[in-house]
Amino acid sequence: MRPVLIMLEMFALLAVLILNACSSSAEQASGLTAPETSTSTSSGSDENRGDGQSALVGNQLTDSQSANEYDSGNVGTAANLLQALKGEMTASAKYAAYAKKAQEEGLAKVAALFNATSMSEKIHADNHRAVLQDMGVSIPLIQPVFDVKTTRENLVDAIAGETYEITTMYPDYLKVAAKEGRQLAQISMNYAYKTEQKHKVFYEKALAAVDAGQFQSLSSSYMICPTCGNTYDGAAPKRCGISMTSGERFISVPSV
């Protein structure tokens, strides 16, 4: 019986050892699984909340905000220049149409004035576009919209447009550009601002001539500065009074 008891005791001991080992393994497995499950849940929670993505978006927003803060003035200048570009392109197109209308009405000298200012406004538009491109601003498609009426009405419209530009638009835009330190924008807008002042005077003189039926006082040809659009009736000066461009480079716009 003794050997049998010894064998039973050994089996019992072995069974205890096996049970303890299994229990230990189960606890270890449980211990490994818990962190794994916890990590998975945490990750799932992050995905549900979008924390990881939010952090990325947050950084992007921060970068964008920093860029806007650094470039806040540039946003204003860009918007202003785009608006000015649209205005100058529209003015150039409609003044060309006004010139055609004046010619149809037998007002050749008024037509010459409109042709000259149309060319001048195109130079302003080209200058604004160049500055915007230098700033890296995307320029949208601009389609001028306007109405052509009688030459008198067209002159009244032109005077109103120039008055707005020299009393409100360009003074305001120049202040913003100066505050932002955008020198090229200031130069381009100042070229237009100074030139529009002369255009207003030309239009007022032409309107007075139309109303009085006296066109002898109007010039039959104009000279345009290719740099700033400065407009002279008659001969070109030795140098442009705005950009100092040589008079030899001026563009002649005779009456048709």
Neighbour order of strands in the sheet with 221-224: 231-233, 221-224, 251-254
Mean pLDDT value across residues 21-41: 36
Tell me the sheet residues that pair with 223: 232, 252
- Rounded to an integer, what distance in angstroms lies between the CA atom of residue 213 and that of residue 107? 10
Distance CA 216, CA 116 (A): 18
Q: What percent of the chain has pLDDT over 90?
A: 68
User: Higher-confidence residue: 2 or 163?
Assistant: 163
pLDDT digits (tens, 9 = 90+) for 211-230: 999 988 899 999 999 999 99
Q: Are 240 and 247 in contact (CB under 8 A)?
A: yes
Total-model pTM: 0.71
Specify the higher pLDDT residue, 38 or 108.
108
Domains assigned to the chain: 76-254 (1.20.1260.10)
- How far is CA 188 from each of CA 68, 112, 132, 139, 228, rounded to the nearest angstrom? 23, 25, 10, 16, 8
Q: Which comes out higher in pLDDT, residue 95 or 69?
A: 95
Measured distance CA(30)–CA(208) in Å, rounded? 99
> How many distinct helices (H) and strands (E) make up the chain?
6, 3
Estimate the crossing angle of helix 151-164 against helix 51-104, to 10 degrees. 140
Structure confidence at residue 54 as a pLDDT band (50, 70, 90): very low
pLDDT of residue 86: 97
Q: Residue ranges of the alpha helices (H) in 50-150?
A: 51-104, 108-134
| Burial group, residue 214, by CB count within 10 angstroms (0-12, 13-18, 19+) | exposed
List, as one string, the DSSP characters of 22-66. HHHHHHHHHHHHHHHHHHHHHHHHHHHHTHHHHHHHHHHHHHHHH
Residue 250 predicted with pLDDT over 80: yes
Q: At residue 108, does pLDDT exceed 80? A: yes
